């Protein structure tokens, strides 16, 4: 039996899939509809002070005719009043007692304002609170959102105001628009937060219509930076989740957000330390129905790998993350091409010839071009395998002595012990010793 239930900072849900605080979680109707479909939790679209949203609030990044590879928005927090939202939150929680109902909050940076809205939120019966320190547009100009999340001292101060009065778990959603995500994460840990959600959207300009010369999205001829989300941001989100998960000064549960579209994406976030995952863009693209694929896919994968609970896979990949100085300098791979699978598109040759190390030959064989790897020239960069359109046509094969290893840190330490400076000549001597080709 596979148990997908999870506990993220004291907030329990029957599965790790939550709606992110965004347009899909804007109302009781939407959240209840999501729960009916099978979602495990929701983070209610951020409520707070009065706002008015604008038309043409989204911009899209398309790639090879695939829609919404990325989405940019200049949308603000909920434009429905606080009373309406609180009433619907209470109604939703009453109807769905087994699901996680988390409420995203953002108000002006005054202690009384934060503590008032926190107390009113607790009265709804909600399972938890998410503090929005991430919105990069609109609200940040008012000293909220990312304007808070970019200053660790502000993160700590406001979180302390909230945790002083909150009787339910408090998650803090952090902005990626910082130099080092660990500093705000450490600050909210010091302020007694129960968990962290990350990432929020990334500052961006979506693009320009080359026919009209208007920046997109265009609001009556004006545009601005907005928040970038969708599948394109997943690698950035994974990096920041892993940074926080690996930081011993944080050690808090994580709700992972950013570019999650499939069960595979969700599994990656969990393997890097997330207890729950939040999804927005994929729902905006395909609707709540994707939950069936998310649950079925994750369940089947866990079963195939012999896992039975989320906790068994949470953080399982974190120990692979290291510094460059700990990489094995003697690890050697070369590219090999399966001629039976090759479709002779020549992309591997072009990329290696023009952008890498000229290690692939192109010659006519029986009327077509055959690509072959010059293994003595191949540096194992893997570019050819990445551009190849045929699965497993080009593979990277290990050819080194697997019993030997040497890291950069070990090498520089040896040089130091021997009184040798780190010079090109000494490095070349090391390479010659181990038969490493110098390119």
DSSP per-residue string spanning 20-75: -SSGGGSSHHHHHHHHHHT--EEEEEEEES-----SS-EEEEEETTEEEEEEEE--
For residue 348, being part of any structural domain is answered with yes
Q: How confident is the model at residue 168 (pLDDT cuts 50, 70, 90)?
A: very high
Residue located via tokens 């928005």: 73
Residues 306 and 341 in one domain: no
pLDDT for the residue 124: 98
Q: How confident is the model at residue 356 (pLDDT cuts 50, 70, 90)?
A: very high
For residue 179, being part of any structural domain is answered with yes
Task: From 318, 348, 375, give the residue that closes a domain.
Answer: 318
Q: 60-74, 79-93, 238-252, 305-319: which has the minimum mean pLDDT?
A: 60-74
Q: What is the pLDDT of residues 108-161, one digit of tens each?
A: 999 999 999 999 999 999 999 999 998 877 677 777 778 899 999 999 999 999
For residue 402, being part of any structural domain is answered with yes
Residues 314 and 359 in one domain: no
Residues 249 and 345 in one domain: no
Helices assigned H by DSSP within 249-365:
263-271, 281-286, 291-305, 310-313, 347-355
Q: Is the pLDDT of residue 52 over 80?
A: no
Quote the pTM value: 0.94
Q: Is the CB of residue 149 less than 8 Å from the CB of residue 133?
A: yes
Residues 311 and 333 in one domain: no
Alpha-carbon gap, residue 393 to 359, rounded angstroms: 17
Q: What angle do CA 304, 35, 166 make, to 5 degrees?
A: 105
Task: From 318, 342, 375, give the residue that closes a domain.
Answer: 318
Alpha-carbon gap, residue 278 to 270, rounded angstroms: 11
pLDDT for the residue 345: 94
For residue 188, what are the domain limits? 6-318
Residues 328 and 249 in one domain: no
Q: How confident is the model at residue 57 (pLDDT cuts 50, 70, 90)?
A: confident
CATH number of the domain within which 295 lies = 3.20.20.70
Q: What is the pLDDT of residues 72-84, one digit of tens each?
A: 988 889 999 999 9
Mean pLDDT of 397-421: 93
Q: Is the pLDDT of residue 372 over 90?
A: yes
For residue 352, being part of any structural domain is answered with yes
Helices assigned H by DSSP within 228-324:
234-245, 263-271, 281-286, 291-305, 310-313
Mean pLDDT of 172-181: 96
Residues 362 and 237 in one domain: no
Residues 275 and 378 in one domain: no
**pLDDT mean across residues, the chain:** 94
CATH number of the domain within which 327 lies = 3.30.70.20
Active site residue 135: yes
Alpha-carbon gap, residue 104 to 10, rounded angstroms: 16
Determine the 3-state secondary structure of 257 from DSSP: strand
Q: Is the pLDDT of residue 424 over 70?
A: yes
Residues 187 and 238 in one domain: yes
Q: Phi/psi at 13 (nearest 5 deg)?
A: -150, 155
User: HSE of 205 in the Cβ direction (CA atoms, 13 Å)?
Assistant: 8
Residues 88 and 228 in one domain: yes
pLDDT for the residue 28: 98
Q: Is the pLDDT of residue 437 over 80?
A: no
Task: From 297, 318, 339, give the residue that closes a domain.
Answer: 318
For residue 66, being part of any structural domain is answered with yes
Q: Is the CB of residue 384 less than 8 Å from the CB of residue 360?
A: yes
Q: Which residues of 152-187 are buried (b: 16+ CB within 10 A; e: fewer)?
A: bebbbbbbbbbbeebebbbbbbbbbbbeebbbbbbb
Total number of domains constituting the chain: 2
Work out the angle between the directed axes of helices 82-95 and 111-122 (0-180°, nearest 10): 30
Q: Is the CB of residue 252 less than 8 Å from the CB of residue 196?
A: yes
Residues 78 and 220 in one domain: yes
Q: 24-28, 50-54, 118-122, 250-254: which has the minimum mean pLDDT?
A: 50-54
For residue 60, being part of any structural domain is answered with yes
Residues 299 and 373 in one domain: no
pLDDT for the residue 174: 97
Residues 372 and 274 in one domain: no
pLDDT for the residue 58: 85
Q: Which of 8, 32, 55, 135 is catalytic?
A: 135
pLDDT for the residue 138: 66
For residue 17, being part of any structural domain is answered with yes
Q: Is the pLDDT of residue 438 over 70?
A: no
For residue 1, being part of any structural domain is answered with no
pLDDT for the residue 49: 82
Q: Is the CB of residue 276 less than 8 Å from the CB of residue 8?
A: yes
């Amino acid at each position: 039996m596979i148990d997908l239930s999870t506990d993220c900072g004291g907030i329990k849900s029957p599965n790790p899939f939550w709606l992110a605080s965004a347009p899909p979680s804007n109302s009781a109707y939407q959240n209840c509809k999501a729960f009916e479909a099978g979602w495990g939790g929701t983070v209610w679209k951020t409520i707070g002070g009065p706002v008015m949203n604008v038309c043409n609030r989204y911009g899209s990044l398309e790639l090879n005719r695939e829609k919404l590879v990325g989405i940019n928005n200049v949308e603000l927090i909920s434009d429905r009043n606080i009373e309406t939202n609180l009433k619907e939150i209470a109604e939703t929680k009453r109807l769905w007692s087994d699901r996680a109902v988390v409420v995203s909050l953002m108000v002006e940076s005054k202690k009384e304002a934060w503590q008032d809205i926190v107390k009113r939120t607790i009265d709804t019966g909600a399972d938890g609170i998410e503090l929005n320190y991430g919105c990069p547009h609109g609200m940040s100009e008012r000293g909220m959102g990312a304007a808070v999340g970019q200053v660790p001292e502000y993160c700590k101060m406001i979180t302390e105001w909230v945790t002083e009065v909150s009787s339910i778990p408090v998650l803090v959603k952090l902005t990626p628009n910082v130099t080092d995500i660990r500093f705000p994460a450490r600050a909210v840990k010091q302020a007694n937060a129960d968990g962290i959600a990350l990432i929020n959207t990334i500052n961006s300009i979506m693009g320009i219509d080359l026919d009209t010369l208007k920046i997109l999205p265009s609001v009556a001829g004006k545009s601005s930076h907005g928040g970038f989300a969708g599948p394109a941001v997943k690698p950035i989100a994974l990096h920041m989740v892993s940074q926080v998960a690996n930081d011993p000064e944080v050690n808090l549960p994580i709700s992972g957000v950013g570019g999650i579209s499939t069960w595979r994406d969700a599994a990656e976030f969990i393997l890097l330390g997330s207890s729950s995952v939040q999804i927005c863009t994929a729902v905006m693209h395909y609707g709540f129905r994707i939950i069936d694929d998310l649950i079925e896919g994750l369940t089947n994968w866990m079963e195939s790998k012999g896992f039975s609970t989320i906790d068994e896979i949470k953080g399982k990949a974190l120990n692979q993350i290291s510094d460059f100085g700990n990489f094995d300098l003697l690890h050697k791979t070369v590219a090999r091409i399966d001629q039976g699978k090759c479709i002779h598109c020549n992309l591997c040759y072009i990329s290696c010839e023009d952008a890498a190390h000229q290690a692939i030959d192109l010659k006519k064989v029986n009327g077509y071009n055959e690509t072959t790897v010059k293994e003595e020239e191949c540096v194992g960069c893997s570019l050819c395998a990445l551009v190849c359109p045929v699965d497993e046509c080009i593979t990277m094969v290990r050819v080194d002595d697997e019993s030997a290893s040497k890291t950069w840190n070990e090498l520089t330490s040896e040089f130091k012990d021997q009184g040798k400076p780190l010079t090109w000549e000494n490095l070349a001597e090391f390479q010659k010793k181990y038969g490493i080709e110098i390119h």
